[in-house]
Structure 1
Amino acid sequence: MPGTPYKKNSLVILVALALSACTTISPQQLSEQALTEQGHADRGAALAEAEPISGMLTIEQAIARALKYNLERRSRLMEEAMAFRQLDVSHYDMLPKLLAQSGYSWRDNDKISQSRNNETGELSPSQFVSQERTHTLSSLGVSWNLIDLGVGYYNTRQQADRVLIAVEKRRKAMHVLMQDVRTAFWRAASAQKLRAEVQSTLALAEQALVDSRTAESERLRNPLDALRYQRQVLENLRLLEAIDQELSTAQIELAALINAPIGQRLQLAEPEFRVSRQALEIPVTRLEETAMAANADIREQHYNARIAREETRKTLVRLFPNLSFNYSINYDTDSYLVNSNWNEAGLQLSFNLFNLFTGPGQLKLAEAGVKLADQRRIAVQMATLAQTHLARQQLANALNQFERADAIWSTDQRINGHMQNRQNSQMQSQLDMVANQTTAILSLLRRYQALAQVQAAEARLQSTLGVEPRISSVDDLSLAQLTDDIIRSQNTWGDFGQPTVGGE
């Protein structure tokens, strides 16, 4: 046929061009400039919505800032919002499919057909053109499938439970965040309180070390006594430097949690702390009941078990015979058609015979998933009960340690007063001054550390029980309003009852 080789060559060229286009894509590494620019842009975006910090920062303001501006918490909120969007989309899976389509057809020669005589086997000399070389076909149809409807229904129910799981994960992240902020705030407060004293005592110890080495070199005192003196000064220096290193990171950790500029110096308002044993006065059975009802991990496992049961029902639906219905309106521009417009409908009942063999295995698999989800829920419940008792005991231990550290600090304060009097009367050596100030700093640091442990233990118990602040949506509240809500919800144990869950 004329032109056939040319057409084949053209087809070969088109295929070769398509293949060459697919093989020319190579990895494109980001340049350092692009990474730097994106890093600056991301840093600006991270701090764009955060209100600047002015004046003294209280612990309630720090918690409010963390709840509103912490980047990891924003990710959790976006995951929750994404789960809600997926639920909205999954509702459409239960709707019938409405399909509009239009196509264009072209061929380079006529579609010609012949007829053969059934009795003689001879071809008819007549040749019939049954279709135009170019024509378009358009249709609008609706189809409905019984199995798709059932599977879509249970998929939507499962997605609704996944939304609730996302809520529980957000709650758990909030509990951990509040615990970290409370611990970091007290560490930063102790750093703010002790930094000046540590630096001045370090300078005093360094000077005492220099003086001792000078006295040793000039033979002004026994060399062994001088070395023992230096050993004691160096030991005090080691303790002071360890304290300084521990305190140096506290502000950075707190700034990262509340999404504040890392280089900004935070001025913290140290809150008044009073020892309270209200949490320990609540009956353990009451704590256990609250944890079983409100703990985020337990609630998540309940929803996972419900998803597993929905999976069993979905498997059953797939094993049923399928009923499908379709109806369409069609139009074709082919002039050889007598009826260019027509409506078409169909009803079909089908059944996959292999389901007779695979069905029992699929059901057993789904039932195994249910048993696994139930076992995980039981394991988490027992672990949570143990964690409730453990968190309560840790709080009791932390309170005892704080009371002991507070008593030691109070005693050291009284000793320091007597040593100051001796210093004023010039009856105290330089080594005694360094040792005394180092001891005072250590006792105050341990008091703050014990206080931070009390805060962490109390927050851990609240997280285990599922207790959280009674606040409205974080996005709807201003920072000042959110801070006021946190202040009002501080008396957790005094108003202890059924905790408010998922208040955001």
Structure 2
Amino acid sequence: MTVNLVRKIFVLMLIAVVSACARAPEPLQRSEVNRELQSDLDQLGVIVDPLDSPVTLYQAIARAILYNREYKLSAMEAALSQRQYDLAKTNILPALTVSAGYSARDKYAASASTTFTNDDPDPLPASPAYSVSQDKNRSTANATFTWNILDFGLSYVRAGQSADRRMIAIERQRKVVHNIVREVTSSYWRAIAADNLLDELGPLLRRVEAALEDSRRIERRRLSSPLEALIYQKELLEIRRTLHTQQRSLMTAKLELAQLMGLLPGQQFTLAKVEYIIPEIAMNISLMENTALMSRPELMEARYQKRINKSEVRAALLSMMPNLNLTASANTDDSDYQKYNEYTEMGAQVSYNLMSVFSGPANREVAKASVDVAEEQRLAMAMAVVSQVHIANMNFVQSRQDYAVAEEYLDVSKRLTKQTRDAQRVAKFGELEVIRQEASLLLANLRRDIAFAELQNSFGTVYASIGLDVVPSNLNDMSISGLSNAITESLQTWGLKYQSVVGAGQRVINPIAEQDPILGANGFVFAANTFSVGQPVKYSIGMQDGTALPDWLSFDESLRRISGTPPKRQMQLSLRVIAQGPEARATDSFILQLDDARKGSGLEIESTARAPTAKLAEPKPAKQASPASSKKSTGQASRFVQAKALSSRGKAQGYADKIEQQTGMKAFVRKTKRRNPPLYRVIIPAFARQDIPPIIQALKGMGIDDSFVTRD
């Protein structure tokens, strides 16, 4: 029987050795790779929510967050960190071990004993008596409870560190979302520019090539100056090079957006029609700094890492402590030779690693140094975050200025192209000049769109630098519509933001050309409801050709009033007003008639829906005329209508400006001579008796019922 058992053991060992030696590298089969590749393509090509309508900016961000592979990877890493934390918590529990065993032998474990004398055993007798204390076949089982106090303390610390690593994974996931929002915003607006201009680039490039060929033919035939032809060809080549460069950059914009949204190249989608609305940041720089220092994921990660390093100091202290091991077990044994087959055991053991006296302090110093390093890293990160906030804000301001310049350049290009086309109709320009202007106009459109895309990119960078979350942490509806609505609400919480809307509205709702723009003696005031760009509005005015106003003409932005005395022979001016609001920027061009500014007298009454408006000729207050002389002169006021009398010159001037703003009537402030303290009167001049009733009626429209006529 012993020989058979040995043989069995030898065979088992031989099989194990052969199995280990038989293992060899095995390359992947091409068929297996093809199956995996097809499976990957099927998974990547699945669109959970079909793209059955134009994609808005917020929907693009929502799709990128839901279906972007980088975000999914960060989410899986966060889930893995949660499972690691759950595992670390189980390590705090004591050990409870259950074991069972069976042993067998071919012969009994018989043994004999002898006496022990003078440190030597006595020889066994010739026929010793053997005894047996266990069976040949034996079954045992036990359940052992073990609690190591030192391991419990270390596991508790490690579980806290694992919880902090879980929070670090969440902060990294937030960082991925911030990057996605910024990248999608930039790609979306670049894709909008590509949609607007790529279809026009091809025909224009062909026209540029045709213009180049015509110019070369003209040069060869000596139909124009060689220098002029070469200069023109150089301009066309510059335009062609710029068009090719922008075409190359725009062709990939939509592919980049598709990748961010989790789409495969080739999957078709359309973008919503948008309105160019200039974004605003509803925070001052101090609030931006504080928000960034509180919210940036990198800083939060550094704070959690510092806490992990502090826990490592506690772990180093615990490792220097003595170890106390508590055990308790319940046992069973089926041996016939034991009186009690079931019994329990308890024990306690204290141990201490003496070498920890040397290694423990060194480990503690290393842990403390890591805390100091983490603190310095956090401070360095805080400094970098503050710098990034300022740099992002400066870039945003500069991008707004660049966009304003691009918008003005586009407006000039549009009007210049229109003038060139009109001149071509009367044979003042040839086809080549028109092509050049149209190419310049397309480039101006392209520069405007690129500038707006850069503006939106800098705007997204500002929000990424601040660390604001566009996705609420407690959001339950993670559908495309639910997520896009949450993103919209989150962004609008912090101020006026970019908007992606279908169907752009008209920003000039009351054109100045329809407001009878005539420069009277009191100037011309265009209506407050001319533009719909939000409040507050900043106005600027210039000539339609982009030049500044002539020296004799001035513009009061607060009153929206254009005033001045024109030259004798000039009859009209072509002007353009620019309104910049928080929602948009709009322009309106009109022709200002100058006839009435030279009349010097007369009063025109205009009835409006709000209140009657009087247009008065500019008086000459420096020459006080007597009642007698005023009857002979029509250029000076013979009577005045007093609207108010106030104790402060500033208040009186403000009231006079209010009258002029609401009624168009010129009001003056005069100080009383015989009163102490003096009063400051707000008066409106009347050049004839028939002028007085309209003035009083206009004042009543403002709620002034106690006005009266005075000759002083």
CA distance in 2, matches of 1:154, 1:7: 51
**1:91 pairs with 2:86:** no
Matched with 1:170 is: 173
Q: 1:60 offset after TM fit, Å?
A: 1.1
Q: Alignment partner for residue 144 of structure 1, among 142, 147, 156?
A: 147
Counterpart of 2:67 in structure 1 is: 69
Secondary structure of the equivalent of 2:115? coil
* Cα-to-partner distance string for 1:403-459 (whole Å, 9 max, x where unaligned): 111111121111122223244455544443443232222222221222122112121
Going from structure 1 to structure 2, the CA distance change for 1:157 and 1:314 (only over 3 Å counts) comes to same
Q: Structure 2 unaligned runs (5+)?
A: 498-712
For 1:371-450, what aligned pairs fall within 5 Å after superposition? 371-425=372-426, 427-450=428-451
- Match among 55, 58, 64 for residue 57 of structure 1: 55
Distance 1:206 1:348, change over 3 A: same
Output one character per residue of 1:102-124: Cα deviation in whole Å (capped at 9) or x when no partner.
22323344323232321361125
Distance 1:339 1:473, change over 3 A: same
Conserved in 1, the CA contact under 8 Å of 2:219 and 2:226? Answer: no
Give the partner amino acid of 2:300. Answer: R
Structure with bigger RCO (C-alpha 8 Å, 6+ apart): 1
Structure 2 residue 186 is matched with structure 1 residue 186: no
Query: In the alignment, which residue of structure 1 is the partner of 2:159?
Result: 156
Counterpart of 1:432 in structure 2: which amino acid?
Answer: E
Matches of 1:385 and 1:431, distance apart in 2: 53
Question: What residue in structure 1 maps to residue 658 of structure 2?
Answer: none
Could you tell me how far apart the structure 2 residues matched to 1:203 and 1:220 are?
Answer: 24
Q: How does 1:13-162 map to 2 (within 5 A)?
A: 13-48=11-46, 50-119=48-117, 121-123=122-124, 125-162=128-165
Contact 2:324–2:349 under 8 Å retained in 1:
yes
Instruction: Specify the alignment match of 2:683 in structure 1.
Output: none
Counterpart check, 1:240 vs 2:243? yes
Residue identity (%): 30
| Cα distance change, pair 49–248 in 1 and its aligned pair in 2 (3 A) | closer
Map Cα deviations across residues 58-93 of structure 1 (whole Å, 9 max, x no partner).
111111111221111111111112222222222211
Q: Deviations over 1:223-257 (max 9, x none)?
A: 96777766554443332222221111011100000
Quote the RMSD (CA, aligned, Å): 2.6
**Counterparts of 1:12 and 1:169, CA distance in 2:** 56
- For structure 1, the residue ranges without an aligned partner over 5 or more in a row are 497-504
- 8 Å CA contact 1:278–1:493 kept in 2: the answer is yes
CA spacing shift, 1:443–1:33, aligned 2, 3 Å: farther
Equivalent residue, structure 2, for 1:494:
495
Contact 1:144 1:324 in 2 (8 A): yes
More helix by percentage = 1
Assess if the C-alpha contact under 8 Å between 2:194 and 2:250 holds in 1.
yes
Q: Is the 8 A contact 2:279 2:456 kept in 1?
A: no
Instruction: Give the direction of change, closer, same or farther, for the CA distance of 1:196–1:420 in structure 2 (3 Å limit).
Output: farther
Contact 1:64–1:482, Cα closer than 8 Å, also in 2: yes
Corresponding residue pairs, total? 491
Q: Which amino acid in the other structure matches residue 149 of structure 2?
A: L
Amino acid at match of 1:366: A
Matched residues in 2 for 1:213 and 1:401: separation?
36
Measure the CA separation in 2 of the matches of 1:109 and 1:317: 51
CA contact 2:279–2:496 (8 Å) conserved in 1: no
User: In 1, are the aligned partners of 2:328 and 2:347 still within 8 Å (CA)?
Assistant: yes
In the alignment, what sits opposite 1:257?
A: 260
Cα 1:209–1:429, aligned 2, differ >3 Å: closer, same or farther? same
Residues 421 and 126 of structure 1: CA distance in aligned 2, closer, same or farther (over 3 Å)? farther
The one-letter amino acid of 1:20's match is: V
Aligned position for 1:502: none
Answer yes or no: is the 8 Å Cα contact 2:279–2:459 preserved in 1: no
Correspondence 1:197 to 2:195: no
Deviation string 1:9-30 (CA, Å, 9 cap, x unpaired) is: 6545433432232232222222
In the superposition, the TM-score normalised over structure 1's length comes to 0.90
Distance 1:495 1:247 in 2: 28
**Which amino acid in the other structure matches residue 44 of structure 1?**
D
Q: Aligned to 1:343, what secondary structure does the other structure show? A: strand
Higher share of residues assigned strand: 2
Q: Which residue of 2 aligns with 1:499?
A: none
Matched, 1:463 2:483: no
Counterpart AA for 1:355:
S
User: Partners of 2:112 and 2:477 in 1: how far apart?
Assistant: 76
Deviation at 1:364, TM superposition (A): 0.8
**TM-score, normalised relative to structure 2:** 0.65
Moved more, 77-86 or 141-150: 77-86
Describe the SS at the equivalent of 1:385. helix
Q: 1:236 to 1:391 in 2, by over 3 A?
A: closer
Pair 1:349–1:421, CA change in 2 (3 A): same
SS in 2 for 1:42: helix
**2:99–2:142: 8 Å Cα contact kept in structure 1?**
yes
Judged with a 3 Å threshold, the aligned counterparts in structure 2 of structure 1 residues 473 and 259 are, in CA distance, closer, same or farther, namely farther
Structure 2 equivalent of residue 207 of structure 1: 210
The structure with more radius of gyration: 2
Structure 1 residues 322-374: Cα deviation after superposition (integer angstroms, max 9, x where no partner): 11111111122333333322211111111111111211111111111111111
Please give the alpha-carbon distance, in whole angstroms, between the structure 2 residues aligned to 1:466 and 1:290.
Answer: 7
Q: Contact conserved, 2:88 with 2:162, CA < 8 A, in 1?
A: yes
> Which residue of the partner structure matches residue 325 of structure 2?
324
